[in-house]
Structure 1
Amino acid sequence: MSDGWTWEYWWPETELDLGPVLAGQIKERCEELLRAAETLYISGQRHEGGSEAQVAYVAGGMFEYLIAPRLLKLVVVSVTAY
């Protein structure tokens, strides 16, 4: 992302357990969420406070994520496929 924002899975091996279609949809949605975070949050050391877990839905599943503005990071903490 242009402002240094990144995303990752809480457990790096999570993507290995997902099918390529679901993993691709999660990646696409996370990139959209990062673009929004760049404009919604005062980033870096100036940010005070935290973020509550939020849920995003994609075709074939859903995932729960946290946004950590002080770290310029979105972290996917759980994925549910259905």
Structure 2
Amino acid sequence: MSWAWEYAFGAEEAARTAPRIFLTGVEEKAAELVRAAETLHVHGRSHEGVDPKGSSLLVPGGMFTYQIVVRSERVYIVQITYLG
């Protein structure tokens, strides 16, 4: 398995109705988070301990909240907020 990001919970549903330009910003930041997590947690599958605290990031048009799950090698986008 390799590091990736994906929408989780209601964020996937919200992404279906959000404007493409906003989602592009979310996806670019999510890809940056994946690269950073992969660099920091080289051996993610064998990680023992607590996952990093989730956070929120601003993107043009809104924001999103994410959670990194190291053992799954995933960055989950758990909420997106489009402010228009």
TM-score by length of 2: 0.84
Structure 1 residue 74: Cα displacement? 0.4
Shift of 1:50: 1.6
- Consecutive unaligned residues of structure 1, counting only runs of 5 or more, are none
What SS is found at the alignment partner of 1:71? coil
**What is the CA–CA distance in structure 2 between the aligned matches of 1:58 and 1:25, rounded to whole Å?**
6
* Larger relative contact order (Cα-Cα within 8 Å, sequence gap ≥ 6): 2
Contact 2:15/2:80 (8 A) holds in 1: no
Match of 2:73 in 1: 72
Match of 1:44 in 2: 45
* Mapped partners of 1:23, 1:43: distance in 2: 27
Aligned residues: 80
Q: Which residue of the partner structure matches residue 15 of structure 1?
A: 15
Cα RMSD between the aligned structures?
Answer: 1.5
The aligned residue for residue 24 of structure 1 is 24
Q: Classify the secondary structure of the residue corresponding to 1:70.
A: coil
Identity of aligned residues (%): 30
Name stretches of at least 5 consecutive residues in structure 2 with no aligned partner: none
Deviates more, 1:26-35 or 1:3-12: 3-12
Deviation at 1:53, TM superposition (A): 1.7
Inter-partner Cα distance in structure 1 for 2:45 and 2:14: 27
